[in-house]
Amino acid sequence: MFIELFRSARELPPEWDDLCGDNLYLTREFQQFIESIDACEQTYCIFRNSADAIDTILMTYVRHNFNLFMFTPVHVSLRVTFVYVPLSVTRPGIICRGETREELAAHIKGIKGYKLFLNTATDFRLPGFIQVRTFPRCVLDLRWNSFDHYMRDLRSGYRHRYKKALAKSTPLTFRMLDDNRQFDHRLYALYEEVYKSSPYKIEKLPVGFFQGPFFKIGILEKGSVAVGFIQLIENGPELIFEFVGFDHRINSQYDIYISLLLKIVQYGIEHRFERIDFGQTADEAKLKIGCRYEPLFGLLHHSNPLVHNFTGAFVRRIEYKPLDEQKFHVFKPALPRLVTQETSAQWA
């Protein structure tokens, strides 16, 4: 087995992208962009199998003041090495075909202190690592041919709530930016406002991130003043909701946040996407617009055996506790298919 380490995405071989699949955040192009706006001690790692073919790719970076207990009232700042991309997205920072799994585990275990894989699938395990539940992904499967169709499919209570939100936002106008370089410090201040009020903080992105060429940005304006924005990325058949910003002072007056979520639904339907990845936080609001959960996990390890075993003993107390999504009956029940004698004969 062979392991290669790189400090810059520009050094990565073209075969790196062959493993990325729909994880666009791991691609060389996207990582070069991230390095240009948020250098954070990134290291890229390639594991090759006995035939010298790439079997595993991953990236790591370091956070020096990460609160491992963010889902509890306790705050403890720790140095953590993440196997993850350095922004809050629902994709992991690793692609592993499986042949080099043991070498991968040994390599990460050799890093001092806490190591944390984020947003891995349920079935991704590594020997000696503790699996812990993190934020689930909120996904909306798009089965409607228009936004009106979506609204008609809602149960009356939800439909009434969203009609009310759309009515309150009538004085506002919505448009997509023609050029992301138009994302200025006034819009960035709206992102900062949301970031400051968030109970869960992993990293704060610079203004340059929102000016990147990968994104679609829509803004809500009151006259010529921006009061909210959404950042989206089109990923094949999937639309991804990246980040949001809005003016909290007038949010309730115009129902800005709910209106922005509905704009995402409308954009996804009108542009014929199959699903929308709504991200991980504010899951109650997202479940109420019809999302479902996709569980995601972290894998945790500490290089000190005593600390590692202690962590394993209390890890269930610090992991994320998802909401009961069965309580959210957003859509009308599907009508049973009428089976006639003719259709029955077709299946006989």
Name, in order, each residue with C-beta under 8 angstroms of 70's C-beta and a sequence gap of 6 or more: 199, 200, 201
- Contact by Cβ (8 Å): 261, 286: yes
- 86 and 9 fall within a common domain: yes
* Best CA proximity match to 230, nearest among 152, 335, 239: 239
Q: Which of 268, 293, 318 is the last residue of a domain?
A: 293
Residue 112 domain boundaries: 2-136+295-326
Q: pTM of the prediction?
A: 0.89
- 107 and 202 fall within a common domain: no
- Contact by Cβ (8 Å): 71, 82: no
- 143 and 273 fall within a common domain: yes
- 277 and 181 fall within a common domain: yes
- 99 and 230 fall within a common domain: no
52's torsion region: left (phi>0), alpha (psi -120 to 50) or beta?
left
Q: pLDDT tens for the chain, 348 residues: list them.
A: 578 999 999 999 999 999 999 999 999 999 999 999 876 779 999 999 988 999 999 999 998 888 888 788 888 888 999 999 888 888 999 999 988 999 999 999 999 999 999 999 999 999 999 999 998 999 999 999 999 999 999 999 999 999 999 999 999 999 999 999 999 999 999 999 998 988 777 778 999 999 999 999 999 999 999 999 999 999 999 999 999 999 999 999 999 999 999 999 999 999 999 999 999 888 999 999 999 999 999 999 999 999 999 888 888 888 888 889 889 999 998 755 444 443 333 332
Residue 37, in any domain of the structure: yes
In the block, tokens 């704060």 appear at 204
Residue 334, in any domain of the structure: no
Task: Please give the tally of structural domains in the chain.
Answer: 2
Residue 346, in any domain of the structure: no
Residue 345, in any domain of the structure: no
CATH number for the domain including 268? 3.40.630.30
Give the CA angle between residues 198, 201, 203 to the nearest 5°.
Answer: 130
Residue 335, in any domain of the structure: no
- 181 and 236 fall within a common domain: yes
- 235 and 122 fall within a common domain: no
Instruction: Quote the pLDDT of residue 68.
Output: 82
- 33 and 72 fall within a common domain: yes
Name, in order, each residue with C-beta under 8 angstroms of 319's C-beta and a sequence gap of 6 or more: 71, 132, 133, 134
Residue 8, in any domain of the structure: yes
- 303 and 288 fall within a common domain: no
- 288 and 153 fall within a common domain: yes
CATH number for the domain including 62? 3.40.630
Tokens of 306: 């005593």
- 311 and 188 fall within a common domain: no
In the block, tokens 């200025």 appear at 184
Name, in order, each residue with C-beta under 8 angstroms of 222's C-beta and a sequence gap of 6 or more: 171, 172, 250, 254
* Best CA proximity match to 114, nearest among 298, 333, 289, 241: 298
- 145 and 110 fall within a common domain: no
**Would you list the DSSP string of 281-323?**
SSHHHHHTTT-EEE--EEEEEESSHHHHHHHHHHHHHHS----
Residue 333, in any domain of the structure: no
Residue 261, in any domain of the structure: yes
